[in-house]
Amino acid sequence: MPRDVSATNILRVLSDMKTERLFKTIITNKERGSQALILELGLSRRRYYVRINKLITAGLIIRYKGKYRLSSFGKVINNLQKTAEKASSICWKLETIDSIKTSNHSELADIDYMKIINILLDDNEIKDILSAKQ
């Protein structure tokens, strides 16, 4: 089965709410078999296996000893997804930083910009992303 691990395909696969829910259920319920997942998610067998196939083709999960688990690639994508969820929960703070940085009256030095980031944000991962030179 050919893999399609492109960013576009991963976003497409995880943009389907039921597939994303299946992905998250596999993350949290490592020891559940297919039948338990089908019942928990309320999917028909066909819809379940179509979604499982999409997750496998995207390289996000593997089958091991009859159970589905995150692949190493899936673990990385899960981490990125968590970072995106954190960023969306503080979107207004990020917009505030952009507004200050782009205001006509503001000619902030990099050190002042970092002070604003440190005051507004608690998450070190997001701070690191913002402080990186692009």
To the nearest whole number, what is the mean pLDDT of the chain?
88
Are residue 100 and residue 51 in the same domain, yes or no?
A: no
Are residue 97 and residue 69 in the same domain, yes or no?
A: no
Calpha distance 72→57 (Å, rounded): 14
What is this structure's pTM?
0.81
- For 125, the 3-state DSSP assignment is helix
Are residue 65 and residue 94 in the same domain, yes or no?
A: no
> 113 lies in which domain range?
90-131
Calpha distance 134→132 (Å, rounded): 6
1 assigned to some structural domain: no
Are residue 27 and residue 61 in the same domain, yes or no?
A: yes
Instruction: Give the tens place of pLDDT for each residue, 22-69.
Output: 999 999 877 778 888 888 889 999 999 999 999 999 999 999 888 899
60 assigned to some structural domain: yes
Tally the domains of the chain: 2
